[in-house]
Structure 1
């Protein structure tokens, strides 16, 4: 596939397709590599190709079928007629060779219906492949953003430890001068331990994100690049977003094709109510047949009719079974539309609510930082306790951490909306491999 070259060149440390350096990997490049690396996508691609080959096999029934038959062996024949006193036994070496050419003329439209059914199924599998790629892309976006978020939280945790250690050193110096007590020193020591524990937790979380990234993408994180979000692709309101999602989502389109395929299956099974008409030509060249020495040759061209007048109701059962599968396909299509509507609505609400939350959290950060600065000044003149200062620093750390979480969650909600609408890979400018495209798409 197209992006396998990307995967290999990244592993070799080269710079294909605009990669800025051997140590940088953008979100778009990560998604492209993950799509080729994903076992789910590879398995679905194999399924798609299998159904395409099934359609090719079904189309072969429109062409003449040519069969060659040959056999050789020993044949012993015993005759006992009223004209002979003793039976006449003969043993001869028998040979047979024949060719049969058969051309289907009419089979109740079973072949045409089966070809159409497999065509719909192949296109459905192709769209399912695209839907799987969309889901893989969302997984990569999620872990990519989580890794960047974990990096920022790790930096905040490191800064938090440094701030607490600085206070600890100041309190230790003040204690030596008799300006602070042992309880103050113990208090700040406890806060330093808590800050370091938080730092370890942040580092462990970053390691977890690295492992998940490697599992999905198959490449080390290196230096990930903060993605630039294309806000112009966002729909103006929820109704438009839902309408676009229902119209364009590959899972819904695949479900619609599954309904068409199920209807063609019903048509195929109804072909059993009609006779099968073929034009057949035979040619045989045999020797020593039935105890008669010498060659035996014959050739014939015949129009054959095969009509199943009664088969115990099997045809009726197959038609009804196919009809129920069509009903199942309709219910799957309905379920897919409901899921798409729900996913789009949830992502839309999350995006808008997190946007409002970000603004409030930014105010929280500014206010907490101003309070911290004021508490430090007041502590230096004896108007605030050490506990007030430490609590203020914790408040600033948590406010910044909450803002970072909300900021990345807000970006993820936007990408989730694209995924719910079925256009995430398009929004990321990640092209599907040529093998996934129809002939119309390849022609542009």
Structure 2
């Protein structure tokens, strides 16, 4: 083979070697790339955008109440009695009827103001939906990483048990008294296999859900830790504004809902006030214009509508306070969990190094009967638990970081998308 390669051009030799060598490098798909695609194409965002457009049309409809309405009218007489004979000629008549509001006690202006607030709420709801969707997708992504890392831990544990069982077979050929210990080791081996099956199922399920949000099929090799080599302090420096009333879309949307509920009280109250309209009618036989006054002296439903609008104000106020409290709690809890999980990961990482040496020493000492089988298996179990603790701590750090970003509505910004608020 070496003689053959000697006479080949250098470029061809490199091509052959590159083909023969295993491909250990994979093109990763960062979480930011997934979010940048999903947060522009997802149906939930399209729905939120449509709701925003619908709110705009409602506002325009309220503004149009200042314009006159014109209708075509037509009537055909079925029965009639008149004093003069000439009036009997008017069996069928057609024409135009117009109506223009002159004064509505502020009802139209209140409707416009209410719908403007609802339009503003729908605008912020779009960005609230984007942040919530981004959080869901990001949590699926980091969950897939968690199952991937847990699977790696389980496979290492399985490999240790397999290697130990192979050594145990060799030892038992010289010491037949140890054949009974083989069943105990095999039981732990099968337990490790069962864990792998469960983790593989969870990993594939999570990837299947994640792939619904991206334009290509993601595999395990595409995943990369979005917060690798990042510390909690780094995020505290970059994203430490905290949840603000005038920035967070959830708070802004609910505040707009509260304002629209307050304006709705004026709308319902105006229905109990006089309405002054200019009305006109033009047919083949008649022409008239008149100013009309309409005032409901008794309108019980209007009273209940006003009380209903007031109750909605109290509900919106309570909801706003609840949102503020939940977001603040999420923000503070996320900061604590980020620091604690970061410390736990650092400790567990050192613990893994020590426990690996302990497990290897116990396995070697078992071959010379200085350690029992149970001690070796327990050492392997401790090592697996320590590795799992590290994986859990890293997963907790990732999820807490996402909660930290979500509490400030910064997931889209972290992914490289404009905030547009």
Deviations 1:81-131 (A, max 9, x none): 9xxxxxx89975733122233332321111111011011112112222322
Structure 2 residue matching 1:430: 3-state secondary structure: coil
* Corresponding position of 2:160: 163
Give, in whole Å, the separation in 1 of the partners of 2:345 and 2:74.
82
Structure 2 residue matching 1:228: 3-state secondary structure: coil
Query: Are positions 1:326 and 2:313 aligned together?
Result: yes
* Corresponding position of 1:5: none
Gaps of 5+ in 1: 1-20, 82-87, 286-295
Match of 2:343 among 335, 356, 361: 356
Give, in whole Å, the separation in 1 of the partners of 2:218 and 2:136.
15
* Corresponding position of 1:336: 323
* Corresponding position of 2:15: none
- 1:24·1:225 contact (CA, 8 Å) conserved in 2? yes
Give, in whole Å, the separation in 2 of the partners of 1:237 and 1:91.
86
* Corresponding position of 2:93: 96
Gaps of 5+ in 2: 1-24
Deviations 1:324-363 (A, max 9, x none): 2212211111111111122112212211211121122112
* Corresponding position of 1:395: 382
- 1:213·1:219 contact (CA, 8 Å) conserved in 2? no
Query: Are positions 1:28 and 2:32 aligned together?
Result: yes
After alignment, is 390-399 or 135-144 more displaced? 390-399
How far residue 168 of structure 1 moved from its aligned partner, in angstroms, is: 1.2
* Corresponding position of 1:250: 249
Give, in whole Å, the separation in 1 of the partners of 2:296 and 2:29.
68
How far residue 415 of structure 1 moved from its aligned partner, in angstroms, is: 0.9
* Corresponding position of 2:235: 234
Give, in whole Å, the separation in 1 of the partners of 2:44 and 2:255.
22
Structure 1 residue matching 2:400: 3-state secondary structure: helix
Query: Are positions 1:420 and 2:407 aligned together?
Result: yes
Give, in whole Å, the separation in 2 of the partners of 1:195 and 1:261.
59
- 1:64·1:101 contact (CA, 8 Å) conserved in 2? yes
- CA-based RMSD of the aligned residues comes to 3.2
Match of 1:140 among 129, 134, 137: 137
Give, in whole Å, the separation in 2 of the partners of 1:232 and 1:178.
57
How far residue 418 of structure 1 moved from its aligned partner, in angstroms, is: 0.8
* Corresponding position of 1:51: 55
* Corresponding position of 1:115: 112
* Corresponding position of 2:178: 181
- 2:30·2:226 contact (CA, 8 Å) conserved in 1? no
How far residue 165 of structure 1 moved from its aligned partner, in angstroms, is: 1.4
Give, in whole Å, the separation in 1 of the partners of 2:331 and 2:61.
40
How far residue 383 of structure 1 moved from its aligned partner, in angstroms, is: 2.5
TM-score, structure 1 as length reference: 0.78
* Corresponding position of 2:287: 299
Deviations 1:359-416 (A, max 9, x none): 2211221221121233234334442233322222222222112201211220110111
* Corresponding position of 1:85: none
Larger proportion of strand: 1
Deviations 1:15-61 (A, max 9, x none): xxxxxx99754312333444466554444443333222211211111
Give, in whole Å, the separation in 2 of the partners of 1:309 and 1:326.
25
Query: Are positions 1:383 and 2:383 aligned together?
Result: no
Inter-CA distance 167–22: structure 2 relative to 1 (3 Å threshold): closer
TM-score, structure 2 as length reference: 0.82
Query: Are positions 1:277 and 2:283 aligned together?
Result: no
Larger proportion of helix: 2
Inter-CA distance 257–39: structure 2 relative to 1 (3 Å threshold): same
Q: Which residues in structure 2 correspond to 1:7-26 (within 5 Å)? A: 25-26=29-30
Give, in whole Å, the separation in 1 of the partners of 2:312 and 2:146.
46
Give, in whole Å, the separation in 1 of the partners of 2:77 and 2:297.
40
- 2:26·2:222 contact (CA, 8 Å) conserved in 1? no
Give, in whole Å, the separation in 2 of the partners of 1:412 and 1:183.
45
* Corresponding position of 2:16: none
* Corresponding position of 1:15: none
